[in-house]
Chains A and B, each alone.
Chain A
C-alpha cells in the first residue's frame, strides 16, 4: 500500500485514508497490465501535456461538479491515465520538478504514485524539504462555510505529542461556544473522550472514537469527556457540538509598563475573511490606547488569505517603510518566470495593501496604521504560511521583527488545489519572497538563542508555550518574555521547540513549558497520526 499517512485526526482525513486504501485495492496491483495510455508507453524524461490525461478516470464521476457548477468532465480511463496526469502536471508546475525521480507510472497505484512525485531532499535541519504534499477527497475539499463558522465546540485542541495516544489540551476557546458554556478554558486537559483514555488508547477503534469526539463532523453531536482543569479539578463534561463562530482576532489589550508606556497585545489566530474587519477594529483600539509597542500573538495562526497578511503588515508598519515596496513576490518554477502556470495570469508582486480588499470590510477603505518601527511576534510550530509572511514581509522592509517563542512551521510555499477524478491534489507550486527576494525559510523562523537545529534566525528568545496562563496575561511565559525583552534585550534559558514536528513523547507534561500541534488547517490535520 505504501501510504505514508495511514490515519489522521479528523473524519476528513479518515475518509482520505479510506479513499486511499480503496484506490490501492482497485489500482491493478504492481507493474504491467495497464492500458489506455493515450501517449503510449512510459519514456523517462518525456512528458505529454497534463491535459492529455486530465479527467480520464478509473472511476469517472457523473453529475454536476459543485466546484464548477458544470458537469464533471470525467471520462472512462485507467489508473495509468490518472498517474500520467499527475506525472505531467507535477513536471510542469511542481516548484522542484527537476528533483522528482521519474518513475514508471504503470507500476503504482495512484495515491502511492502521487506520494513519490516530490523532492526527496532534506533541509539543513534534516527535515524533508517538502513537508506539504497531500491530498483531500474533492467533495470534502470544495465545501464552503460562512466565514468563521464550523461545527465543533469552540475549543482549539493542541496535541502535545503531535499524535495519539498522547495528551490533548485546550489552547483557547471561542466566546459563546459549547466549550465556554461548559467552563473549558486554556490549559484544561482532555483525559477521556467517550470513555477512551487518550494517553493509553491502543486500538484503531479507540482512536476513531477519540477523533470522532474531538472533531464532530456536524452540529448537534453529543460526546462525553473527562477533563482536568488547570487547578487540578477532574470532572465529566457532556458537550453538544454547534456551528461555532470563530473569532480570529481576540484579546486586544493595552499592557501598562513601569515606564508609563503602553504595550499593545493582540491574539490573531486565523487569516479568514472576518479577520479583515477584526484587525481594523483592533488597530483602531490600539491607536486609542496610545501604544508604543505591539505584541502580535501568532502562535496558533496557520495562515489563510494572503491579502489579509499584507493588510496587517501594512497596518503595523504604516506607509513609511512600505510605500512602493513588495509585500510578497510569488515565484514559480523556472519554466514559468512570468506567468502563473495554473491560472495563466501574468505574475506581479503583491504590494502592502493600504486599503481594504473586500473580505469583511467594504473595499477601498484606507487602513489605519500604527507606524511602528518594530513588532514582537509570539510564535510556535503552528505559526505558518501567511503568518510567516507577515514576519518575512516586515523584515523585507527593515521593520524590526522580534520573535518570542518556538520555531515556526516553515512554509513559504503555496499550491493551487487541483482536482482530478475525485481527488484534490496539493503539490507545492510557488514560494513567497519578500521585498529583498528572501523566501527560503523551509526550516521556519527561530529566535536567536534557539538550540540547534534552528531555522532562519530572527532576533528574540526561544520560549515554550505556557498553557497555565491565559493568552494576553502578562504573566504568560511568552508574553512575559516579550515584555522583559522590551525593557532589557536578554532572554531566559531557551525552552522553545525546534524543529517543528518533534514533540515530547511521554505523558505528564509541564503545561507551563510545552508545545504541541493545533490541527486547524488541512495540512496540519494530515500530519496527526496514530502512534
Chain B
C-alpha cells in the first residue's frame, strides 16, 4: 500500500510536469537537413536507447523526407499482434527534439540540423 502511494505521487508529479511543459512548447514537425555521420549515429543511439538498447537498423536518409520514423521488429512471425513504435522529429523552441509517441519521451538532438516539415 505504501509503495503504491509513492508511485501514485511520483506519477502525478511527472504528469503535471508534462502538462506544464506541453502548455508552453510549440512543437513543429520537422525533418533532418544535411545529415552527417554524427547525426546518423546520434539518431541511432537515441532510438536504440529509448527502446531499451535493442539493436536498430535505420536508413541513412531517415527523417529527411518525413517527420515520422516508424520502428518495428526486424523479424516478424507472420501473424503478429503487436504495434510498431513511432518517433516524431519536431522543432521545439528552435531545438531538434525526437519524441517517442508511445511514451512521450522527448530527447534533444545536439548533432542534428532540422527544419520545419
CA of A144 to CA of B86 in the docked complex: distance in angstroms?
12
Are B54 and A522 in touch, CB under 8 angstroms?
no
When distances are taken between beta carbons in the complex, the residues of chain B under 8 Å from A243 are 57-60
Which residue of the partner chain, among A64, A145, A360, contacts B74 with CB atoms under 8 Å? A145
The CA-CA distance from A374 to B54 in the complex, in Å, is 43
Is A108 close to B, CB under 8 A? no
A264: Cβ under 8 A from any B Cβ: no
Cβ of B109 within 8 Å of any chain A Cβ, yes or no, is: no
Nearest-neighbour CB distance to chain B for A247, whole angstroms, equals: 13
Contact with B along A124-145 (1 / 0, CB 8 A): 0000000000001001111111
- How long is the Cα–Cα vector from A151 to B55 in the complex, in angstroms? 14
Q: Is A411 an interface residue (CB 8 A)?
A: yes
Asked if residues B80 and A146 are in contact (CB atoms below 8 Å), the reply is no
Contact among A65, A359, A384, A415 with B84 in the assembled complex (CB-CB below 8 Å): A359
**A-contacting residues, B18-66, CB 8 Å:** 48, 51-60, 62
Contact B79 A144 (CB under 8 A): no
Across the interface, which residues of B come within 8 angstroms of A522, CB to CB?
A: 75-77
With contact pairs A146-B69, A411-B79, A413-B79 given, residues A67 and B74 touching in the complex (Cβ less than 8 Å):
no
Q: Which of A97-105, A270-278, A292-300 contacts B (4 or more CB under 8 A)?
A: A270-278
- Asked whether A66 is an interface residue with its Cβ less than 8 Å from the other chain, the reply is yes
List, in ascending order, chain A residues with CB within 8 A of B69's CB. 146
B69 to chain A, nearest CB (A): 6
Q: Are B77 and A145 in contact (CB under 8 A)?
A: no
Q: Are A358 and B57 in contact (CB under 8 A)?
A: no
Closest to B58 in A: A146
Interface centre among B48, B77, B85, B86 (most CB of A within 10 A): B77
Chain B residues with Cβ below 8 Å from A141 are 75
Q: Which residues of B contact A149 (CB under 8 A)?
A: 57-59, 62
Partner of A521, one of B57, B68, B78, B83: B78
Alpha-carbon separation in the docked complex, A273 to B76 (Å): 11
Counting CB contacts under 8 A, is B9 at the interface? no
| Residue pair B78, A303 in contact (C-beta under 8 Å) | yes
Task: Assess whether B11 is interfacial by the CB under 8 Å rule.
Answer: no
**Among the listed A271, A357, A360, A385, which residue makes an inter-chain contact with B70, where contact means beta carbons less than 8 Å apart?**
A360
Report if A198 contacts B (CB, 8 A). Answer: no
- B107 near A: Cβ within 8 Å? no
Q: Are A145 and B80 in contact (CB under 8 A)?
A: no
Tell me the complex Cα distance, A386–B77, Å.
Answer: 10
Task: Collect the chain B residues with CB atoms within 8 Å of residue A139's CB.
Answer: 55
Contact with B along A60-92 (1 / 0, CB 8 A): 000011111100000000000000000000000
Pair B51/A304 contact, Cβ less than 8 Å? no
Residues A384 and B78 in contact, CB atoms below 8 Å apart: yes
Known: A303-B78, A414-B81, A415-B77. A143 touches B72 (CB 8 A): no
Which B residues touch A359, using CB under 8 A?
70, 83-84
Q: List 15 A-B contacts (CB under 8 A).
A: A64-B52, A66-B54, A68-B52, A69-B52, A143-B54, A143-B55, A144-B54, A145-B57, A149-B59, A272-B72, A302-B78, A305-B82, A358-B83, A417-B77, A432-B79
Query: What 5 new A-B contacts, CB under 8 Å, besides A149-B62, A414-B77, A523-B78?
Result: A142-B73, A150-B74, A305-B76, A305-B80, A305-B81
Residues of A within 8 A of B (CB): 12, 64-69, 136, 139-147, 149-151, 243, 245, 271-274, 302-307, 357-360, 384-386, 389, 411, 413-415, 417, 426, 432, 521-523
User: Could you list which residues of chain B lie within 8 angstroms of chain A, going by C-beta atoms?
Assistant: 48, 51-60, 62, 68-86
7 A-B pairs with least C-beta separation: A385-B78, A69-B52, A303-B78, A414-B79, A66-B54, A147-B70, A145-B57
